[in-house]
Structure 1
Amino acid sequence: MLVRTFLALLLGALATGAVAQVNPALYEGADRLERLIAGAKKDGELNLYTSAQADDIGAVAKAFEQKYGVKVNMWRAGSEKVLQRAVTEARGGRFTVDVVETNGPEMEMLHREQLAQRVKSPHLADLIPAAIRPHGEWVGTRLNVFALAYNTRLVRKQDLPKSYEDLAHPRWKGKLGIEADDADWLAGVFAQLGEARGVRIFREIVAANGISVRRGHTLLTQLVVSGEVPLALTVYNYKAEQLKAQGAPIEWF
């Protein structure tokens, strides 16, 4: 379902010449798919900016190319760099990118910059309500489930923190890590704890034990496996689960 929805949105972004009278992204006629495919094949290629993992988005791009015969040119970077490139190019009058796939906060910034196109698609009905924005200019293509992950050779299960306050315990000195751009995670934590309490707790953690700041969730997860970061606060659970399945000394909670 996810791949099908994503492919449909890609086609909607590509087919600039498919419908003469109506914006192809908004066309809802019975021949919608046929017109979109024709327009996409006329363009011949799609330029995609994404922050998704290479293996994951690569599988989607390959399926798209095989099904529709349209080449996908993919540029991958962190979410903030994806946003920066799209905005910078637009301000310079260069409109290379066809589709942007990245985290929700950055996608909403593209909406605020008036760089996104509203898309109507029958596949939107397949998505959970939270994935659809009222303005219809972007939809969620993935759920980022944040988790804490630890190296099972360096951290005992019975020593794991039961609350964020526990991270100020001396046993965690020099052992904590976090991803550099997880503002959405921090907002969620503060919403749960309350902003004043959340700020106080994390100031106490940093003052007592420090927190290593790394860029990239995959890198952070790999550093847990290597033991450089025994306990990471903001990994994506699926990546930790993948490495665990491969026999790596990692567990998440």
Structure 2
Amino acid sequence: MPRRASSALATTLCATLLTGVAACGGEPANEPGDKTVMLYSGRNETLVKPILDKFTQATGIKIKARYGTTAQMAAQLAEEGERSPAEVFLSQDAGALGAVNKKGLLAGLPAEVTAKVPEAYRAKDGNWVGVTARSRALVYNPKLIAKEQLPKSVFDLADPRWAGKIAIAPTNASFQTFVTAVRVQHGEQKAKEFFTALKTNNPQIRENNIAIVEDVDAGKVPAGLVNHYYLGEIAKERGTTPEKLNAKLHFFAAGDTGAMVNVSGLGVLRRSANDPDVRTLVDYLLGPEAQQYFTQQTFEYPLASGAPAPSYVPPLAELKAPAIDLNDLESLEQSIALIKETGLTP
């Protein structure tokens, strides 16, 4: 399953661990003296395993990994609590890290670790840190929408003139986090009004962001809400560059919720706060090899080690993200409930 969309491969919270450890038990992750780190990953195996393999080759430390969606891994950690064999949680978004941290499961990271990442992209209490960043954007086909017709704000998509012209993926984690951002920045009432209006505009529903970008590129739908990196992924699969695709990116106006910047990130479970192998993994993911990998292979913004941004997007420092504290994006359950209430999902 070569795409991020395949992160839904874990259909139950109690799936068998890929390494053979019982999924729902509290057995120790490692044998005494075993140079192994137990990782719960909300990021797709195909996406992160190559860099984890490079880590093992470089350090001799093995990774026992359990993969699922970020929501599934966060829920499993909450269910297992202190019994969890997990040592590191690698999350697709800040909201899940915040939710796990709220349960008191994450340890404080050393200041020299968190200092590698800009303050906006790490926990206030130092209990999680961003690894990569991604911006929300509107992907559009200029053959179907003229540049001068593009919306300045994501809230413009509630206008009837956009009826049937926008594709969304309401069951996707990135869309759900966007819903949370609207709720956090503008309140529950405005969020409900906007997503109700969006539903009235008959949006075209897709399973994931990849499907949205492919259909926009093919001219099947004029535009859609996605994260920026999917253009890079599709271009790579086709052996071309993002600039040569029909689909283009439009970034919303400065401060608009549609321009939010989220992170993938990690937290260390309290039981492993002083484990030197865990620290080695954390340092590696924030180091130059891993940061360059994420830039070149997954087309995300690096947050540490000075790796450059992908060539087809503005530098991270130039993005005018809304004033949303990523630490406040933990209320995922309320966002899912709002999506259902407004009829965007059954």
Superposed pair shares fold, TM > 0.5: yes
Aligned residues: 211
What is the SS of the residue equivalent to 1:252? strand
Task: Kindly provide the CA deviation profile for residues 20-51 of structure 1, in whole angstroms up to 9, marking residues without a partner as x.
Answer: xxxxxxxxxxxxxxxxxxx9993233232223
The within-5 A match list for 1:79-98 is 79-90=70-81, 93=83, 95-98=84-87
What is the SS of the residue equivalent to 1:60? helix
Q: Which residue of 1 aligns with 2:245?
A: 248
TM-score w.r.t. the length of structure 2 is 0.51
Task: Kindly provide the CA deviation profile for residues 121-168 of structure 1, in whole angstroms up to 9, marking residues without a partner as x.
Answer: 523222111233233321122223111112344433343223345424
C-alpha displacement at 1:252, in angstroms?
0.9
Matches of 2:160 and 2:224, distance apart in 1: 16
- Give the 3 Å change call, closer, same or farther, for CA 219–137 of structure 1 in structure 2: farther
- The CA RMSD measured in Å over matched residues stands at 3.2
Matches of 1:156 and 1:248, distance apart in 2: 16
C-alpha displacement at 1:210, in angstroms?
1.8
C-alpha displacement at 1:242, in angstroms?
4.3
Match 1:186 to one of 164, 170, 179: 179
Matches of 1:126 and 1:41, distance apart in 2: 31
Task: Kindly provide the CA deviation profile for residues 46-91 of structure 1, in whole angstroms up to 9, marking residues without a partner as x.
Answer: 2322233555523431331121112223333322122123223448
Question: Which structure's residues are more often helix, by fraction?
Answer: 1
TM-score w.r.t. the length of structure 1 is 0.67
C-alpha displacement at 1:115, in angstroms?
2.0
Unaligned runs of 5+ in 2: 1-29, 236-240, 251-346
Q: Which residue of 2 aligns with 1:231?
A: 223
What is the SS of the residue equivalent to 1:52? coil
Q: Which residue of 1 aligns with 2:89?
A: 100
Q: Which has the higher contact order (CA 8 A, sep 6+)?
A: 2
The within-5 A match list for 1:1-253 is 42-54=33-45, 56-90=47-81, 93=83, 95-102=84-91, 103-120=93-110, 122-180=112-170, 181=173, 182-189=175-182, 196-207=189-200, 209-233=201-225, 235-243=226-234, 245-246=241-242, 247-253=244-250
- Give the 3 Å change call, closer, same or farther, for CA 73–90 of structure 1 in structure 2: same
What percent identity do the matched residue pairs reach?
A: 23
Matches of 1:73 and 1:153, distance apart in 2: 47
Q: Is the 8 A contact 2:114 2:126 kept in 1?
A: no
